């Protein structure tokens, strides 16, 4: 393979070369696993890994389009393969090496007969939409963890269910590695960075913005609801009178200007927490379903990050609002972490 003058290292192609990498080094070792077509989201992962291991550490970036995690009719054949550009991105972000093995190197003798099974969590949401996907993903992650032998492995929170399953696998199977989640990187218009974004036409991209728009609307609704609840709970004497939240909000509304009172009444009518979060997101997605081209929703789910089961309407604590949809021929996913039942100071920090 030819590399440009701006790319002074060639990719590592074999497990033997990989084992020789950093031999004798006393620094920590990190891995960032990718399927290539690197963008700023990947670069953020690599920079974060470099910061964690320091100048003396080793950061290995893997580039491997894993056939096991693509189902029938998915985009394995057209998935972008841009290794020359990937090498440049990885180098600029602080990688020590790029491990870009062939399929035969990763799966000698053909598809493996023994695989990692994702279990019940792997059958929900993405797993239900893409049967076998998570089994294939965990199998290759397990193999790459063995091959790269890292102290730390970095994954993006955009693939929240994937991250949760990798963490569970590492814990359940005693992998000696710290799994580090890195926040989602977004483009300036809010669209989560993804290698599949390049498939979108201009009109499709406009429709696709509804995914992040729905998540942001839900997050904003939750923040407004929690602010109202905090104000209601802070009303003088509210606790002593034993008022419930709706009564306190009503009294708060009567003490404010008409516009604020209307907002309070609407908040009380729509409910707080999980119910309001789902409604706010669904309203945006429903609108996008009537756009041209339309957004075709796969799922919208508010789930417990521990097992990706749907949370109840009275849930208090951490949650993930996840969405998947198709725009044209492109399937996109996105999510946002939320904290239900928290005060504003808890959610955003007391100084903000």
266 by DSSP, 3-state: which? helix
Q: How far apart are CA 25 and CA 9, in angstroms?
A: 19
- Strands 152-156 and 29-34, by their bridges, are parallel
CA gyration radius, the chain:
23
Q: How far apart are CA 74 and CA 330, in angstroms?
A: 10
* In contact, 330 and 195? CB cutoff 8 Å: no
Annotate 298-328 with b (16+ C-beta within 10 A) or e (fewer). Answer: bebbbbbbeebeebeeebeeebbbbbbbbbb
201-to-51, 74, 292, 327 alpha-carbon distances in Å: 36, 19, 12, 10
Strand order through the sheet with 152-156: 97-99, 58-63, 29-34, 152-156, 178-182
Q: Which of 61, 139, 73 is nearest to 107 (CA)?
A: 139
* In contact, 320 and 335? CB cutoff 8 Å: yes
Beta-bridged to residue 338, according to DSSP, are 319
* In contact, 261 and 253? CB cutoff 8 Å: yes
Task: Return the sign of the alpha-carbon dihedral for residues 295, 297, 300, 306.
Answer: negative
Helices (H), the chain: 15-20, 40-53, 83-93, 103-106, 126-129, 133-148, 160-172, 202-233, 238-241, 245-254, 258-270, 274-288, 344-348
Q: What is the DSSP string of 148-215?
A: H--SEEEEETTSHHHHHHHHHHHHHTT-S-EEEEEPPPB-TTSPBP-GGGGG--HHHHHHHHHHHHHH
Q: Is 315 a catalytic residue?
A: no
Marked catalytic residue, from 42, 146, 262, 315: 42
Residues belonging to the active site: 42
């Amino acid at each position: 393979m030819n590399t440009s003058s701006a790319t002074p290292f060639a990719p590592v192609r074999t497990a033997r070369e990989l084992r020789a990498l950093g031999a004798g080094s006393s620094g920590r070792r990190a891995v960032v696993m990718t399927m290539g077509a690197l963008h700023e989201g990947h670069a953020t992962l690599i920079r974060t890994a470099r910061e964690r291991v320091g100048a003396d550490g080793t950061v290995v970036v893997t580039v491997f389009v894993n056939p096991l995690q693509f189902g029938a009719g998915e985009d394995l054949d057209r998935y972008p393969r841009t290794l020359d550009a990937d090498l440049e991105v990885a180098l600029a972000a602080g990688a020590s090496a790029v491990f870009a093995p062939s399929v035969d190197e990763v799966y000698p003798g053909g598809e493996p007969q023994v695989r990692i099974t994702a279990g019940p969590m792997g059958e929900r949401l993405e797993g239900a939409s893409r049967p076998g996907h998570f089994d294939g993903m965990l199998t290759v992650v397990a193999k790459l963890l063995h091959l790269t032998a890292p102290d730390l492995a970095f994954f993006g929170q955009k693939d929240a269910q994937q991250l949760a399953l990798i963490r569970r696998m590492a814990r359940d199977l005693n992998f000696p590695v710290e799994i580090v989640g890195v926040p989602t990187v977004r483009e300036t218009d809010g669209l989560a960075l993804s290698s599949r974004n390049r498939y979108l036409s201009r009109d499709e991209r406009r429709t696709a913005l509804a995914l992040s728009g729905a998540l942001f609307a839900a997050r904003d609704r939750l923040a407004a609801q929690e602010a109202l609840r905090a104000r209601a709970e802070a009303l003088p004497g509210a606790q002593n009178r034993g008022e419930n939240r709706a009564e306190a909000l009503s009294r708060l509304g009567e003490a404010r200007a008409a516009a604020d009172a209307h907002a309070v009444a609407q908040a009380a009518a729509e409910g707080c927490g999980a119910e309001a979060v789902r409604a706010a997101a669904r309203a945006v997605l429903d609108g996008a379903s009537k756009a041209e081209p339309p957004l075709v929703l796969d799922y919208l789910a508010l789930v417990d990050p521990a097992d990706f089961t749907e949370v109840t309407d009275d849930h208090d604590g951490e949650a993930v609002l996840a969405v998947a949809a198709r725009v044209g021929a492109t399937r996109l996913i996105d999510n946002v972490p939320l904290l239900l039942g928290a005060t504003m100071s808890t959610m955003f920090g007391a100084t903000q």
